[in-house]
Structures are given as structure tokens and as C-alpha cells.
Amino acid sequence: MRSVKAAKSDRAVILGLLTLLTFSPCEGFLPVYLSGISYGWTGFVILSAILAVATIAGMVVFTGLTLSGIERLPLGFLENYESGILGTLIFLLGVGIIFLGF
């Protein structure tokens, strides 16, 4: 029978991996790197160049889309209460860490 601590550890690992896959394009590219091992250093350099170009292009495109769309939102409330909102979020993260044990 597995302990509760092991189950929490498994959940933390799964959440960590999902978070990495969600926020990092590099983690999703690892299987492609592994499948390209047979091509040696040349394949590694080509794959790295493709990943670098695609990552930079994606960041530029999505940042441009975000900037063009965010100008339409009324964010005066966030600008006025930014410190309070961030303080509350940090406090809630701390409470979550204390009580959830991550």
C-alpha cells in the first residue's frame, strides 16, 4: 500500500511536468531530440536552430497579438490596486504551501 506522502509526491511531479509542458516549448520538443539521436551533431544543431527560430517567432507573434488586444481592455482597476492584488496572491500562495505541503 502506498503512503500518503508518496501520493502527494506523485501529484507534485505530475503537476510539475504538466506545468513545464504548458509554459515551456522546450519540454515538448524533447521527444524530437531523442528521435534525432541517429543524425549525430549535425541533426542536433539543425534541430536546435529550428527550435530557436520557432520559439522566438512564437514569442514575437503572441506578444504582438497580446499587446494589440490588451489595449482594448479597461485595466485601470488593476493599475490602481496592483500592489494589493499581488500581495493577496503571494499571501494565498504562502497559505497554500503551508497547508498543502508542496
The number of domains in the chain is: 1
> ∠ CA(97), CA(99), CA(102), 5° rounding?
40
Residue with cell 531530440: 33
The burial of 73, by beta-carbon neighbours within 10 Å (0-12 exposed, 13-18 middle, 19 or more buried), is given as: exposed
pLDDT of residue 20: 63
92 domain residue, yes or no: yes
Distance of alpha carbon 28 from alpha carbon 51, whole angstroms = 11
pLDDT of 55 > 90? The answer is no
pLDDT of 94 > 60? The answer is yes
pLDDT of 27 > 80? The answer is no
85 domain residue, yes or no: yes
Which cell is 85 given?
Answer: 492584488
Domain that holds residue 94: 76-102
Q: Give the type of residue at 70.
A: I
pLDDT of residue 15: 77
| 29-48 pLDDT tens trace | 777 777 777 888 888 888 88
| 64-91 pLDDT tens trace | 888 888 778 787 888 888 899 999 999 9
Choose between 40 and 10: higher pLDDT. 40
80 domain residue, yes or no: yes
